């Protein structure tokens, strides 16, 4: 029986886990909930210049949609023998073959204006969920982008061991 060695793969799955972000999102969502309770159930106008019941419902639905967006957003990265694959759920899917890559670097990209998808930075488009470290990818066609990582040391070790010709 022939035993093949396992494929060398780096995988990472990130979600929004910042406690303070969830406190802000949930707290903001509770405002129209309380407003509707006070205004519809108790019959007391909510605030000095109360919104209509319909306005509070629209605000609640908007806040629930934003909350759901953050709850279901994720950044999935996979690096294997074929190349680099990144999915920023629900926004972007990107795949790059090794022969398209000029250079890879694990970098501290600092502050790029928040998390999510950031355009027109010095690293090209940045896809990040948290932190300030990521994989900077320079393509042979001159384009560049960055994928955030919560495992910079593990990613660096993987690249040095398996893809040192790109570092």
**Tokens matching residue 53:** 């019941």
pLDDT at position 8: 81
Answer yes or no: are the C-beta atoms of 146 and 126 closer than 8 Å: yes
Same domain, 81 and 143: yes
pLDDT computed for residue 110 by the predictor: 86
Answer yes or no: do 54 and 116 share one domain.
no
Q: Are residues 87 and 158 in the same domain?
A: yes
Structural domain boundaries, residue 60 = 15-72
The last residue of a domain, from among 72, 92, 121:
72
In a domain, 135, yes or no: yes
Cα-flanking dihedrals φ and ψ of residue 91, to 5°? -95, -45
CA distance 118 to 130: 12
Does the residue 9 lie in any domain?
no
Query: Model pTM?
Result: 0.82
At 165 the pLDDT is 66
* pLDDT at residue 63 in the model: 96
The pLDDT value recorded for residue 4 is: 47
Contact 167, 102 (CB under 8 A): no
d(CA 103, CA 139): 7
**Cα torsion angle, 88, 63, 16, 166, sign:** positive
User: Are both 40 and 119 inside the same structural domain?
Assistant: no
142 and 94 housed in the same domain: yes
Separation of alpha carbons 155 and 104, rounded Å: 11
Local mean pLDDT, 10-residue blocks, the chain (167 residues): 63 93 95 94 91 93 96 95 93 94 93 82 92 94 96 93 73
Query: In this predicted structure, what is the pLDDT of residue 112?
Result: 76
Residues 91 and 157 in one domain: yes
Coil, strand or helix at 73: coil
SS3 label, residue 13: strand
In a domain, 125, yes or no: yes
What is the DSSP annotation of 84-147? EEEEEETTEEEEEEGGGEEEEEEEE----SSSEEEEEETTEEEEESSSSEEEEEEETTS-EEEE
In a shared domain, residues 21 and 60:
yes
Same domain, 67 and 142: no
8-state DSSP, 82: T
């Amino acid at each position: 029986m022939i035993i093949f060695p396992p494929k060398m793969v780096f995988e990472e799955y990130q979600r929004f886990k910042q406690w303070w972000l969830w406190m802000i999102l949930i707290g903001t969502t509770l405002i129209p909930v309380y407003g509707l309770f006070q205004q519809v159930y108790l019959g007391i106008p909510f605030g000095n210049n109360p919104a209509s019941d319909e306005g509070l419902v629209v605000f609640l639905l908007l806040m629930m949609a934003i909350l759901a967006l953050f709850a279901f957003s994720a950044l999935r990265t996979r690096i294997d023998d074929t190349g680099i694959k990144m999915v920023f759920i629900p926004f972007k899917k990107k795949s790059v073959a090794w022969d398209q890559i000029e250079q890879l670097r694990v970098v501290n990209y600092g502050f790029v204006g928040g998390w999510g998808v950031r355009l027109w930075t010095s690293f090209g488009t940045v896809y990040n969920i948290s932190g300030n470290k990521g994989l900077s990818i320079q393509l042979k066609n001159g384009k560049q982008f960055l994928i955030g990582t919560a495992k910079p040391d593990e990613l660096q070790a993987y690249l040095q061991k398996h893809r040192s010709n790109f570092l």
